[in-house]
């Protein structure tokens, strides 16, 4: 149990301090309690809690997102990433007049029925049948499925860099081919950038790969530590959202003033301070340190990193999809996490969750993590 967080560290109920690599599951790009966010919140508090209609910070946050992400002309806010994905899928179904959606094993788009159809109990079979699912980054499976079902797909929804089976980036040509195929078959391409948005760069993974989706979902970082989600895209499709269009969307807390204020403060800081180079340098140093430490003790690892998000898979084979993650040594992963925790370093407890470096982390935090990992790898080598 954690009781507080400040900069790159968290404190647990027993008073222990830990260097935090969970970082709000990726939401805290600027670390815990960044001063820009605290100041914006103090200001927002003076204007009330919930206003009930559109307010200036909501317009400003939408403007910042559209400015940073070229495929986004219009934005709608929700209270969570889950709702953003629900809204994107519903929009795609309305836009195409089709029901079936294509998803990928190991990707996560929140816990709503359609996208969770194969990952949870309690979902009617009729919905599951409309949710196709194929392996991630498998071009043959993609080509085959699109040939067979492309013309009845409302959308394809994908994490352009997977962050919920650990960090797995698709091979470079994959997303470009996905773009061609979805365009050919008239299916809406949705990039779920709830994690990667403003994490891997200002324009997200779509900027990194140079592929333009029809719709993008956001969450996590854009709320500056507060509940948020957003769906954005071109006007032609976004216009279908109510009240202008016929696709219903609502939410008592959607566009909450405090989330918007924290989000504006965060994105403003990111857009003026351009933290990505610094994050890249620090994260690279961490990845290299972990790699060398593992190598020194002959522990087989695959370290995947895209910018400041990374995962260490304990595996001697390349990790390309969720089956490879399942086949990795999760016992070794758990041991590494446990040894690090003893040494005051907090890692996500599972290789399915990415670890995150924030702008609050320093070279010293990285060194402490590498040193502690060396201990962990030594203990693993000793059996
Ligand atoms: C976290 C996450 C979501 C869901 O967001 P919530 O705010 O937790 O509902 C959706 N997609 C991806 C890729 C995520 O990582």
Within this chain, do residues 111 and 64 fall inside the same structural domain, yes or no?
A: yes
Coil, strand or helix at 5: strand
CA distance 93 to 151: 13
Please check whether residue 14 lies inside any domain of the structure: no
Mean pLDDT, to the nearest integer, of 312-337? 97
Ligand 1 center to 108 CA (angstroms): 7
Q: Are residues 216 and 342 in the same domain?
A: no
In contact, 83 and 139? CB cutoff 8 Å: no
- Domain membership of residue 45 (yes or no) is yes
In a shared domain, residues 39 and 179: yes
* Choice from 111, 158, 195 to test ligand 1 binding pocket (greatest atom count within 8 A of CB): 195
Answer yes or no: are the C-beta atoms of 271 and 68 closer than 8 Å: yes
* pLDDT band of 309, cuts 50, 70, 90: very high
Pocket of ligand 1 (CB under 6 A): 80-82, 85, 108-110, 159, 163-164, 192, 194-195, 219, 229
Predicted pLDDT of residue 356: 98
Strand intervals (E) in 296-373:
302-306, 309-313, 345-346, 355-356
| Protein residue with least CA distance to atom 5, ligand 1 | 81
Backbone dihedral angles phi then psi of residue 374, each to the nearest 5 degrees: -60, -45
Query: Per DSSP, which regions of the chain are E strands?
Result: 2-6, 9-12, 17-20, 74-78, 100-104, 131-134, 153-158, 188-192, 215-219, 229-233, 302-306, 309-313, 345-346, 355-356
Our count of domains for the chain comes to 2
pLDDT in tens, 118-139: 999 999 999 999 999 999 999 9
> Tens digits of per-residue pLDDT, 45-94?
999 999 999 999 999 999 999 999 999 999 999 999 999 999 999 999 99
Instruction: Tell me the per-residue pLDDT of 85-111, one tens digit each, with 9 for 90 and over.
Output: 999 999 999 999 999 999 999 999 999
> CA 205, CA 212: separation in Å to the nearest integer?
10
Residue 25 CA, ligand 1 centroid: distance in Å: 9
Both 338 and 219 in a single domain?
Answer: no
Q: Which of 207, 239, 272 is the last residue of a domain?
A: 272
Q: Report which ligand 1 atom has the smallest distance to the Cα of 107.
A: 13
Residue 85 lies in a domain: yes
Best of 108, 163, 218 for a ligand 1 pocket test (most atoms within 8 Å of beta carbon): 108
Whether 3 is in a domain gets the answer: no
Q: Which H or E run includes 263?
A: helix 257-273
CATH no. for residue 62?
3.40.640.10
Closest listed residue to residue 213, CA positions, set 106, 88, 321: 88
pLDDT above 90: residue 288: yes
16-41 mean pLDDT: 98
In a domain, 363, yes or no: no
pLDDT tens per residue, range 347-362: 999 999 999 999 999 9
Nearest atom of ligand 1 to the alpha carbon of 82 = 9
In this structure, are 126 and 144 located in the same domain? yes
Same structural domain, 154 and 297: no
pLDDT tens digit sequence for 326-355? 999 999 999 999 999 999 999 999 999 999
Pairing, β 345-346 against β 309-313: unpaired
Q: How far is the CA of 217 from the centre of ligand 1 (A)?
A: 9
Confidence of residue 172 (pLDDT cuts 50, 70, 90): confident
258 and 291 both lie in a single domain:
no
Q: What is the mean pLDDT of the chain?
A: 97
Kindly state whether residue 361 falls inside one of the protein's structural domains.
no
Domain CATH code at residue 279: 3.90.1150.10
Distance 367 CA to ligand 1 centre (A): 30
Q: Which domain holds residue 342?
A: 275-355+371-383
Domain boundary among 234, 256, 272: 272
224 and 108, same structural domain?
yes
| C-alpha torsion sign, points 355, 357, 358, 362 | positive
Same domain, 71 and 147: yes
Q: Residues 361-378: pLDDT tens digits?
A: 999 999 999 999 999 999
- Please tell me the predicted confidence (pLDDT) of residue 383: 80
Residues 304 and 213 in one domain: no
Active site residues: 108, 192, 220
- Tell which one of 168, 220, 350 to mutate to probe ligand 1, the residue whose CB is within 8 A of the most ligand atoms: 220
Query: Cα of 383 to ligand 1 centre, how many Å?
Result: 37
Residue 39: inside a domain, yes or no?
A: yes
Share of the chain above pLDDT 90, in %: 99
- pTM greater than 0.85: yes
Q: Which atom of ligand 1 is nearest to the CA of 220?
A: 7
Q: Which atom of ligand 1 is nearest to the CA of 228?
A: 7
| % pLDDT > 70, the chain | 100
Taking the centre of ligand 1 as the mean of its atom positions, its distance from the CA of residue 240, in whole angstroms, is 23
Of ligand 1's listed atoms, the one at least distance from the Cα of 229 is 7
Nearest to 364 by CA among 341, 337, 344, 336: 344
> Is 185 in the same domain as 317?
no
Residues facing 103 on adjacent strands: 133
From 220, 249, 272, give the residue that closes a domain: 272
Q: Are residues 291 and 232 in the same domain?
A: no
pLDDT confidence of residue 145: 98
In a domain, 202, yes or no: yes
Which pair of structure tokens corresponds to residue 57? Answer: 């910070």
């Amino acid at each position: 149990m954690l009781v507080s967080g400040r900069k790159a560290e968290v404190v647990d109920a027993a008073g222990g301090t830990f260097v935090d690599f969970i970082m709000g599951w990726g939401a805290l790009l600027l670390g815990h309690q960044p001063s820009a966010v605290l100041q914006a919140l103090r200001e927002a508090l003076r204007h009330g809690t919930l206003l009930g209609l559109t307010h200036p910070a909501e317009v400003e946050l939408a403007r910042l997102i559209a400015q940073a992400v070229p495929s986004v002309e219009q934005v709608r806010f929700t209270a969570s990433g889950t709702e953003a994905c629900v809204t994107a899928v519903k929009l795609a179904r309305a836009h195409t007049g089709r029901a079936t959606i294509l998803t990928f094993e190991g990707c996560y788009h929140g816990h709503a029925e359609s996208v969770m159809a194969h990952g949870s109990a309690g979902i009617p079979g009729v919905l599951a049948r409309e949710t196709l699912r194929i392996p991630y980054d498998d071009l043959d499976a993609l080509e085959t499925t699109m040939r067979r079902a492309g013309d009845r797909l409302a959308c394809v929804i994908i994490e352009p860099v997977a962050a919920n089976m650990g960090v797995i980036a698709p091979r470079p040509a994959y997303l470009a081919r996905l773009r061609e195929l979805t365009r050919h078959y008239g299916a809406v391409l949705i990039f779920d950038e709830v994690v990667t948005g403003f994490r891997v760069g200002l324009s997200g993974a779509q900027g990194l790969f140079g592929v333009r989706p029809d719709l993008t979902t956001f969450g996590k970082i854009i709320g500056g530590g507060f509940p948020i989600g957003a769906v954005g895209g071109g006007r032609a499709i976004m216009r279908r959202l109510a009240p202008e269009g016929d696709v219903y969307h609502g939410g008592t807390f959607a566009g909450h003033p405090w989330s918007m204020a924290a989000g504006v403060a965060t994105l403003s800081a990111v857009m003026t301070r351009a933290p990505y180079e610094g994050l890249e340098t620090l994260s690279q140093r961490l990845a290299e340190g972990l790699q060398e430490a593992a190598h020194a003790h002959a522990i087989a690892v695959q370290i995947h990193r895209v910018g400041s998000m990374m995962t260490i898979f304990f595996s001697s084979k390349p990790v390309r999809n969720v089956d490879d993650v399942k086949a990795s040594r999760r016992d070794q992963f758990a041991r590494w996490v446990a040894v690090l925790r003893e040494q005051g370093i907090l890692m996500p407890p599972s290789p399915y969750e990415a670890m995150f470096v924030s702008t609050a982390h320093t070279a010293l935090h990285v060194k402490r993590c590498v040193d502690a990992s060396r201990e962990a790898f030594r203990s693993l080598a000793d059996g």
